[in-house]
Amino acid sequence: MAQKILIDLEKIRSPQGKSCDESPPEGLYGPFIDSHGLKSIREMAVFQFTCRRCTDAPCISVCPADALEKNEDGIIDRSTNLCISCKSCVVICPFGTMMTDFFEYHRDKENYYDLRDKKELDLFIRNSPEGAVQLVDMEEDPEQNIFKLNDHILVKERMWKTDNM
């Protein structure tokens, strides 16, 4: 079985002695640019597994740049090409889904680790909070709150579920 990268979102959110302005490292796993711009693994994971998919999503209505929309699966999709980093969506989200640092470096690929590259993956693991990123030989396991983001990435998150999901 091929190794997968397991990212624990709860540990990523934990400051673990870091200062408030220190953000966890951001990873990409290609193809990572779509028609809406650059997508980090953490942003994709948060919108897919942490977001509660509000019916009348306040994040969408507050966005002054029309940068947020729901895709056909009800998952929020941010256009990094349109986003002006005002962070109004972060403030209005009643569940604290988004972290402000998502919006700091969104146009500069140099600030991301390309996890397809072994050296960059090692650095990403080393610079992430302890135990937050691991290489594993396993499949998705919802019993352990481990879900598949794509063929190479698993995400651990306590997912909020409704009958609609």
Binding stretches for ligand SF4 (CB under 6 A): 51-54, 57-59, 62-63, 65, 67-68, 76, 78, 83-89, 93, 95, 97-98, 103
The answer to whether residues 70 and 60 touch, using CB atoms and an 8 Å cutoff, is: yes
Q: Minimum Å distance from CB 61 to ligand SF4?
A: 9
Q: Is the CB of 33 or the CB of 84 nearer to ligand SF4?
A: 84
Q: Which of 165, 161, 159 is nearest to 10 (CA)?
A: 159
Q: Minimum Å distance from CB 49 to ligand SF4?
A: 11
3-state secondary structure 48-89: HHHCCCCCCCHHHHHCCCCCEEECCCCCEEECCCCCCCCCHH
Reading the block at residue 91, the tokens are 């403030």
Q: Is the CB of 37 or the CB of 58 nearer to ligand SF4?
A: 58
Q: Is the CB of 31 or the CB of 96 nearer to ligand SF4?
A: 96
